[in-house]
Chain A
Amino acid sequence: MPTFYLDDQPVDFKQGETLLQAADRAGIYIPRYCYHPGLKITAQCRMCLVEITDMGNGRGMPRLQASCATPAAENMRISITSEKALNAQKTVNEFQLVNHPLDCPICDQAGECDLQDISFLYGTGRSEMNYEKRVSGNRDVGTFLMLERNRCIQCSRCERFSRDLVGTHDFAVFNRSHEVSFDTYGDHRIVHRFQGNLADLCPVGAITQRDWRFRKRAWKLKKTPGVCTTCSTGCNITLDSHQNHIYRISPRENLQVNRWWLCDEGRINFRGLNYHPGSSGPGAGPGKKTPRLEEPQLKARGKARDGGWDGVLEALAPLLKEVAAAKGSVAALADTHATNEELFLLKTLLAEGFGSDKLFFPLQKGKAELRAPAGLEDTFLYSLINTDKSPNTAGAQALGLKGLDGPDALKGALGGKVKIMLVLGSPWEDDPIAGDISTLADLVIYLGVGGNAWSKTADVVLPGFTHAEKYGSFVNRNNLVQRIRPAISPPPQARDQVRTLCSLLGALDREANHADGRDVLAALGAAEGPFKGLNWEALGDGGMPLPGKG
């Protein structure tokens, strides 16, 4: 690999890479505002200026060059710590602050602001600019966004994203010189489904997400890596939480999956993840409290019998044993929001406990939901949103579950009324079938998190964890196995679905004692099958391809 030298330190580069890109890969940070790996290079913020003492041919460059746009060359020698380079960093940063309001105490970006961080690292710490600053108002620019133009440092990332990746040209440049403003045309409001990325891209607090503004200071957040569950793409996300409350979901870089982006559906998803005690019941929705199943319930003829977990399981065990002994027909219907581990235990329970293979899931046909505008077919962004709105269809298929097109297909596959039906998650929850389960089975056991039609009509309700509360793994549509882990703690009476399934296995005298999803995945990886060789640690935060699928 060809090499150049940054402050005498060798840096390998690929042909065509620029200095900053190669330095990034080598883990050397060069300050920047306008450069973003996912956007076209414009070299306009001038923060990444470097001194080139040797272009690789023995001659230096008289002027500092923008390292984000200068192609690396063999044996080039550059410096980011020479007097000239340091001085340029200092003065360019000083210029960035000339018209920046420095309203950090009331700015939502504070704590994760490029301008703030770089000013502390490279700035002078004092200002000699004592004139009135440019003032331009705030604007409501999108269904998801607010624009505070005073804070803008004119890096043009928003414009480039709107133009080159989304193709909607929502942001444009207006005016000239220090009055340059990045704004939408007239009263135009942005309505596309990738708005949140604009807030992420903005290096300062000029573009902020409406449902994040004034909610929490960024430095207080606990960041938990996770996987988005709103569609089968499985975008990598970070769950930003504080004191057991999730405030935001932001994308996490994974070049194999979502690169740097996340759609707005994925971001809004955090609203449904927060648990508020005593909030079970209807009324879910944006900004509303989430209905959660809080207590295990065993209902007999419409009357709930309360006995806590022990009571419910004790009462349930003889019923299960009776059906198992009589070789009664048992079926299970699982939503593919369930993790591989849950599906695996459910399959084990059915096969070993009841000798049944009637394990079904609602099959959603996956294809790109949006069509990219002409000329943007290869920009990737539009392929993010898939019509399969569950994160684990590929996992269910790999584990051998049978996908069904709809409730009618389920009726056919069951072949008449069964003795016991296990329902995991909320499959077809809006279909009448969910409210009419007495025609399907004598006994319906429901494992899930939210109150819905299934939980209302099921005979046994066993509350579980959301994907923000448990360990587990999903397989995305490209057969990449990715792991999730708890960001917040669940309601006190809820129990990990994995533990519940172990208990059900135990009720049938089967040895199953897994602490959480990590344990199950280890067992899954140890056994023959599509997951052979995988374990939770090995997956890492970037995921691994499903071994069974090449």
Chain B
Amino acid sequence: MAQEKLLLLKNIRTKGYAADLAAYRAAGGYKALEKVLGKSQGGMTPAQVTEAVKASGLRGRGGAGFPCGLKWTFMPADPKDKPNYLICNGDESEPGTFKDHYLLMNDPHLFLEGMILGCYALSCHHGYIYIRGESMYLIHRVRKAIDELYAEKLLGSNILGSGFDLDLTVHPGAGAYICGEETALLDSLEGKRGQPRFKPPFPAQAGFNGCPTTVNNVETLANVPFIINNGPEAFAKLGTEGNSGTQLVSISGHVQKPGVYEVEMGHNLKSLIEDFGGGVRGGLKLKAIIPGGASSPIMRPESIDIPYDFDSVMKAGSMRGSGALMVFDEDTSIIELANRTIRFFNHESCGQCTPCREGTFWLKNLIRDFVDNAGSEELMQRVDRVAGSILGNTICAFGDAAGAPMQAFGRVFPEEFRKHFLR
């Protein structure tokens, strides 16, 4: 039986962990912050922190898997005219993902320590934490944790006597999927309608309020304390080549034990479902999985005996994305799944780019035909063509997120579509 590899969930898995500042400190929390900012151990410069994160090979856990340390080096090292900003993306809107929510709710200080370290590395003096407004309780939770830090002078001016000042603000989003896209998030944070911006300029050049900005996922930042405490090598040793560390996997769907599990990068995908998810519930057979949230292409059970990390899943024709594993048993109708998926994407498209705005609307209607048992070979090809025409032709990745899974449904499960042909 496979075991969890606990880096991030160590405290959470400890029975009776209170998740407040005292409990976090008792469990060895804010040691990394002492190490970096405190006088006792000589401290670390921002560049050294960035270097450590870079050496650890930490990749962004939000979905794209961009190397975190590399992203940090795009920021101006010595901000003069404009302040640098670090913004934490806690929008977590990808259907099937609930790991950031779990982490923030049950151990907010782990994330906050990472956030403070990140701000220090980027010479940022005001960080923002963007959390979707639906989960107000979560926002209260994080705000309470921040209040604890201010009370203990771990936030505010001159943290630990280092001369480093930092304020953190929690900003509730208004609940749009697209606001999880980093530039749409910035617009939303600025008080505008959340719409992705075209790049260049990238956020590191002109982001929040036109200032250099880095946007990181909650889980990504939560990894930073471990890297500082144990050194980048300890982190890089975990996982597979190019995919270091552990990962939080949100398993949902037709499994016995849905939930958030922490495993090493590259853990076998099949084992995730069977050993942690407890296998398909009700003794049914596995029909399909979606390995990285609703925007990743569907996979057949035959092709899931692969390591679960960014590169391996990509090689298998899908995406690891945000680590949202959705499991479907043999009673699932793929057409209904496709219908639900495209309705979601149509509803959530910001409406800016033509292919995505009109394409998702068209696809929704096409899939509806299959739901009504009025499909045909021609319509199947049209689904593929329309979805393919959205791919890569939009400002942000939403177009890909909507188009790729729709193409995959027809490619991976053509027989399911044929069942719904007009007879």
Name the B residues within 8 Å of A49 (CB-CB). Answer: 393
* Contact A177 B361, CB 8 Å, known A64-B392, A95-B389: yes
Name the A residues within 8 Å of B350 (CB-CB). Answer: 176-177, 180
Name the A residues within 8 Å of B178 (CB-CB). Answer: 176
Closest B residue to A49 by beta carbon equals B393
B residues apposed to A, CB below 8 Å: 176, 178, 193, 198, 200, 346-355, 357-362, 365, 382, 389, 392-395
Determine the distance from Cα of A42 to Cα of B365 in the docked complex, in whole angstroms: 28
Among B200, B357, B389, B393, point to the contact of A177 (Cβ < 8 A).
B357
Q: A156-B352, A180-B350 are in contact. List 15 more A-B contacts (CB 8 A).
A: A42-B198, A43-B198, A44-B198, A46-B355, A46-B393, A49-B393, A69-B198, A91-B389, A99-B361, A154-B352, A176-B178, A177-B361, A178-B357, A180-B351, A180-B352
Name the A residues within 8 Å of B393 (CB-CB). Answer: 46, 49, 63-64, 88, 91-92
Could you name 7 residue pairs across A and B whose Cβ atoms are closer than 8 Å? A41-B198, A44-B395, A64-B392, A88-B389, A92-B354, A178-B357, A178-B361
* Contact A98 B353, CB 8 Å, known A43-B198, A64-B392, A177-B346: no
* Contact A154 B351, CB 8 Å, known A46-B394, A63-B392, A129-B362: yes
* Contact A154 B354, CB 8 Å, known A64-B392, A95-B389, A178-B361: yes
Rounded to whole Å, the gap between the CB of A121 and the closest CB of chain B is 17
Closest A residue to B176 by beta carbon equals A176
Name the A residues within 8 Å of B198 (CB-CB). Answer: 41-44, 66, 69
Interface string of A51-77 (1 = CB under 8 A from B): 000000000001110100101000000
* Contact A176 B349, CB 8 Å, known A63-B392, A92-B354: yes
Name the B residues within 8 Å of A91 (CB-CB). Answer: 355, 389, 393
B353 A177 Cβ-Cβ under 8 A: no
A45 at the interface (CB under 8 A from B): yes
Rounded to whole Å, the gap between the CB of B421 and the closest CB of chain A is 17
A residues apposed to B, CB below 8 Å: 33, 41-47, 49, 62-64, 66, 69, 71, 88, 91-92, 94-96, 98-99, 128-129, 131, 134, 153-154, 156, 173, 175-180
Determine the distance from Cα of A49 to Cα of B393 in the docked complex, in whole angstroms: 8
Name the B residues within 8 Å of A94 (CB-CB). Answer: 389
Rounded to whole Å, the gap between the CB of B200 and the closest CB of chain A is 8
B349 A96 Cβ-Cβ under 8 A: no
Among B193, B354, B361, point to the contact of A134 (Cβ < 8 A).
B361
A178 B346 Cβ-Cβ under 8 A: yes
Name the A residues within 8 Å of B357 (CB-CB). Answer: 95, 154, 177-178, 180
A95 B395 Cβ-Cβ under 8 A: no
Determine the distance from Cα of A478 to Cα of B360 in the docked complex, in whole angstroms: 52
Determine the distance from Cα of A44 to Cα of B399 in the docked complex, in whole angstroms: 12
A46 B353 Cβ-Cβ under 8 A: yes
* Contact A98 B361, CB 8 Å, known A43-B395, A154-B354: yes
Closest A residue to B365 by beta carbon equals A131
Rounded to whole Å, the gap between the CB of A28 and the closest CB of chain B is 21
Rounded to whole Å, the gap between the CB of B295 and the closest CB of chain A is 16
* Contact A47 B395, CB 8 Å, known A95-B389, A134-B361, A176-B348: no
A44 B354 Cβ-Cβ under 8 A: yes
Among B348, B355, B365, point to the contact of A95 (Cβ < 8 A).
B355
Name the B residues within 8 Å of A33 (CB-CB). Answer: 354
Among A69, A96, A128, A176, point to the contact of B382 (Cβ < 8 A).
A128
Name the A residues within 8 Å of B352 (CB-CB). Answer: 42, 44, 154, 156, 180
Among B176, B200, B362, point to the contact of A98 (Cβ < 8 A).
B362
Name the B residues within 8 Å of A47 (CB-CB). Answer: 354
Closest A residue to B394 by beta carbon equals A46
B349 A98 Cβ-Cβ under 8 A: no
Determine the distance from Cα of A47 to Cα of B394 in the docked complex, in whole angstroms: 10
Rounded to whole Å, the gap between the CB of B261 and the closest CB of chain A is 34
Name the B residues within 8 Å of A177 (CB-CB). Answer: 346-351, 357, 360-361
